[in-house]
Amino acid sequence: MNNFFAELFGTALLILLGDGVVAGVVLKGTKNENSGWIVITVGWALAVTFAVYAVGRISGAHLNPAVTIALAATGQFEWSNVGAYVVAQILGAMLGAVLVWLHYLPHWSRTPDQGAKLAVFCTAPAMRHTAGNCISEFLGTFVLLFGLSALGANRFAEGLNPLAVGLLVLAIGHSLGGTTGYAINPARDLGPRIAHFLLPIPGKGGSDWGYAWIPVVAPVLGGVCGAVTYRALLGA
């Protein structure tokens, strides 16, 4: 249960800070409105860093079903624990999204753009192209798990590993995130998308369920391939 709640609260913290920076950039009337993509990518990287610091010593800070499944697929995590971790991650992502909604409560009615409101919660492609969008999410998560495997094979001074993970996420956001918004995490996209669907957000529009399967399926496949490739090419 300690691991379950660590993954839940760690993912909630990740989404609170990550979706929170998106809300600050795209919603009307905030002090950081229109501050841009670099603010978003740096905010997400720091969100990952702090969430890993918060719960890494308890649950390993997977915070991402693609990470959990990839570790299980490579024998580094028990399959029997995968279900509990994934449920905790999705619930935590929903909780974090609800907290973002509450934090920015007066700004939703001032923002007429339905797409901007949805973007606070979940990803959408810059150009809709099913194959291209799948490749983007696959490749981004491949790099994430390949990179996490590489970081795990190196020694860091005490406390520096979460910073390295955050820098990896920052690199992915800058280099590969401009196509789909780099979900690279099924819980990060699905949990807040469900919250968007359920919450009473003024003039929110639809939750884009037709696209929703891509940031779930492609990251899982990419993550497993990234972890397997690292172990096959460079060793355990």
Instruction: List the chain pLDDT tens, one digit each, 236 residues.
Output: 799 999 999 999 999 999 999 999 999 999 999 999 999 999 999 999 999 999 999 999 999 999 999 999 999 999 999 999 999 999 999 999 999 999 999 999 999 999 999 999 999 999 999 999 999 999 999 999 999 999 988 888 778 999 999 999 999 999 999 999 999 999 999 999 999 999 999 999 999 999 999 999 999 999 999 999 999 998 75
Map tokens 């993912």 to a residue. Answer: 11
Tell me if the pTM is above 0.95: yes
Residue 236, pLDDT score: 56
Residue 190, pLDDT score: 98
Residue 160, pLDDT score: 93
Q: Does domain 2-234 have CATH number 1.25.40.10?
A: no
Sequence-distant (6+) residues with CB within 8 A of 210 are none
Spell out the domain ranges in the chain. 2-234
Helix, coil or strand: residue 56: helix
Maximum Cα interatomic distance, the chain, rounded to a whole number of Å? 53
Q: Of 86, 16, 6, which is closest to residue 48 (Cα–Cα)?
A: 16
Give the single-character DSSP code of 184.
Answer: -
Instruction: Extract the tokens encoding 22.
Output: 């998106």
Residue 157, pLDDT score: 79
Residues 2 and 88 sit within 8 Å (Cβ to Cβ): no
Residues 68 and 85 sit within 8 Å (Cβ to Cβ): yes
The alpha carbon dihedral of 114, 117, 118, 119 has a sign of: positive
Helix, coil or strand: residue 129: coil
Residues 21 and 127 sit within 8 Å (Cβ to Cβ): no
